[in-house]
Chains A and B, each alone.
Chain A
């Protein structure tokens, strides 16, 4: 099983600041890595697929990078609606695993 480790567990930032979230895989997942945003009481929303492609309707302030085992989600300038939990997910060999999540909270 491929394990995804997200860091940090919690990120405390102010609106307008840059957020950098990390996701590390226990073995290579090539570029088969997605990022989701989840707000309380809501379903996850797809932000990024295949490591760096923004999903439909996702603002340009969200960007993804990386390949192999190390991936990054960057939010260039935090808006109030961006404070949420973010999950990474890999889809290698017809199996899916999620990371444990990073909470982005208001400082």
Chain B
């Protein structure tokens, strides 16, 4: 059974870089059928797509001004993991961050989510 698990610091200081990893078990991230994505949800608010990566390494990002040019998504096939880096964080980046397997950008399996707070 496919499982995804987010990991990383729960507290990040303003202006620093948020780094999260998603470990996939029960399936390979090298599968040509799927994308692997990051989605976030500020407390009490809705869902926001951050970006996705294909098994080939091609990446797709949310062009929103609030995210543009700050996002890096990468794959580590040797560890069956994919990662998110979000630079120059502010309090507005405080959210629950989810990783998900996506079939044609539709999330069919999700991690449980991890809360990241941006505060000094």
The chain A residue sitting closest to B51, CB to CB, is: A96
Q: What's the A-B contact tally at a CB cutoff of 8 Å?
A: 57
* B: interface residue count bin: 20 to 34
Q: With A43-B98, A95-B63, A96-B62 known to touch, is A34 a contact of B106 (CB < 8 Å)?
A: yes
Residues of chain B within 8 A of A36, CB atoms compared: 47, 107
The chain B residue sitting closest to A35, CB to CB, is: B106
The chain A residue sitting closest to B61, CB to CB, is: A95
Residues of chain A within 8 A of B106, CB atoms compared: 34, 46, 49-50, 89, 91
**Residues of A in contact, count (CB < 8 Å):** 24
Q: Does A87 lie within 8 Å of B103, measured CB to CB?
A: no
CB distance from B80 to the nearest CB of A (A): 19
Q: Is B76 an interface residue (CB 8 A)?
A: no
